[in-house]
Amino acid sequence: MRGAFQTVAGGQAVAEERWSVASADGRDRLVASGEIREGRPRRWQLEAAVTTQGTLESMEWQLTAAPPPTEVTTVALRSLGEHVFITRIPPGGVPDRVETAFAPGSLVLGPSVSLLALLAGRAQGQAGMARRSLFVRVDEHDLSVRLEDGMVLHGRRVRGKGADGKDGWIRSVELRTAADAARQEAVLQFDASGAPVEAAWPLAIPPRAASLSSFEP
């Protein structure tokens, strides 16, 4: 499965992402790259491995700011059981390290729509039910990492167009922070095959939405 997302805010395209997912040995391996156009232009590359249960086993993210000067920041994540070790290496700086529990259903919110969709799509739950989750926020400007308690809510199925453009059942997954559980942080939609269709961030200023600009099953 492969595709591309375009993110729009205020009527302008602010980000692009190309991604592919290959499944083997009980894991989905994601390879993605993207461009951020807001402010100082930045490009990033990402590789990640996610189990069929939705556990992020490994992740390596590299962000390059446009010259001059060229600056490269790297974030690496490795899991050991239900714990993860996150290392951020800034340009010419001292590495930052974070260790935390990271159970199935934990999510990474950052520049990559496809990584968030891959993890959220595997989150277990029934329609109308909510589950606690850990949000690992990765900032799109410098890949700084912040941990936050959150909730994942599963919506009821509705009819709509899937990733392939055909009509079918669409399910939604809502993300909310524990500190403000009444408001939607993000909403992702998936078709019956599990492919991501679109994502929206209603609290962003201005609100932003990502949709597929291309898709191959």
Q: How many domains does the chain have?
A: 1
Q: Are 30 and 21 in contact (CB under 8 A)?
A: yes
3-state secondary structure of 207: coil
Distance from the Cα of residue 129 to its chain's centroid: 21
Q: What is the pLDDT of residue 68?
A: 73
Q: Which two tokens stand for residue 33?
A: 């790259």
Which amino acid does the sequence have at 95? P
Domain that holds residue 203: 2-216
Q: Which two tokens stand for residue 90?
A: 């800034």
Q: What is the pLDDT of residue 53?
A: 81
Write out the E strands in the chain: 2-9, 12-24, 27-36, 42-51, 56-65, 71-80, 83-89, 96-101, 107-109, 130-138, 145-154, 158-161, 167-177, 186-191, 196-201, 208-216
The β-bridge relationship of strands 167-177 and 145-154 is antiparallel
Q: What percentage of the chain has pLDDT greater than the value 90?
A: 74
What is the average pLDDT value for the chain, to the nearest integer?
92
Written as tens digits, the pLDDT of the chain (217 aa) is: 999 999 999 999 999 999 999 999 889 999 999 999 988 889 999 999 998 888 899 999 999 987 777 789 999 999 887 789 999 999 888 899 999 988 888 999 999 999 999 999 887 777 878 889 999 999 998 999 999 999 999 998 999 999 999 999 999 999 999 888 888 999 999 999 999 999 999 999 999 999 999 999 9
Give the angle 131-132-138 at the CA atoms, nearest 5°. Answer: 125
Q: Closest Cα to residue 197, out of 138, 113, 130? A: 113
Q: What is the pLDDT of residue 136?
A: 94
Q: What is the pLDDT of residue 7?
A: 97
Q: What is the pLDDT of residue 4?
A: 98
Q: What is the pLDDT of residue 75?
A: 94
CA–CA separation, 210 vs 113, rounded Å? 8
Give me the CATH number covering residue 167.
Answer: 2.40.360
Q: What is the pLDDT of residue 12?
A: 95
Q: What is the pLDDT of residue 69?
A: 73
3-state secondary structure of 68: coil
Q: What is the pLDDT of residue 119?
A: 94
